[in-house]
Every structure is written in structure tokens, then in C-alpha cells.
Amino acid sequence: MFLIQVDQMVNDTNVPVKIPKELYEKIEEKISGTSFASVEAYIVSKLENEFPAEPVYTKEEEDLIRERLRRLGYIE
């Protein structure tokens, strides 16, 4: 296993993550010449795509969404 530090975590907190060295090297090779500065940046990018942040709506936006859904017959 190969230990990496994930640098782009919430509140600048790093969490150690272990992945097989072979996989780390494959990622290193894959991102060579790309915009990814490191294997860690690539992994964070992939995980952010897999687990996107939940949208935060204002009260007005929620009311508008509810009204649209009501008009479409999805809610009463």
C-alpha cells in the first residue's frame, strides 16, 4: 500500500489514505502531461465528481420550486 495525503479536504484538514502503490503509479502515468498537478489532485477531483455537494437553496428558491412542482401535479 502507498500512503497519500489528500490536500483539498474541508477546512484544510488532511486525511491519510492508503492505495496500492501499483495503482498510484498507474494514476501518475495517466495524468502525466495533464492539468493535474499531482495524484492527490486527480483522486480528489474524481471523488468530488462521485460525491457532489448538495445544492443549497434560499427560502424563495424552495418556494418557487414547490410552486412549479405543484403546478406540474407532482405535489399537492
Domain range annotation of the chain: 2-71
Give mean pLDDT, residues 57-61. 95
Q: Taking Cα atoms as reference points, which of 33, 40, 46, 31 lies closest to residue 6?
A: 40
Does the structure show a pLDDT above 50 at 62? Answer: yes
pLDDT confidence bin for 17, thresholds 50/70/90: confident
State pLDDT tens for residues 40-58: 999 999 999 999 888 999 9
In eight-state DSSP terms, residue 57 is: -
Mean model confidence pLDDT for the chain: 87
What local confidence, expressed as pLDDT, does residue 63 receive?
95
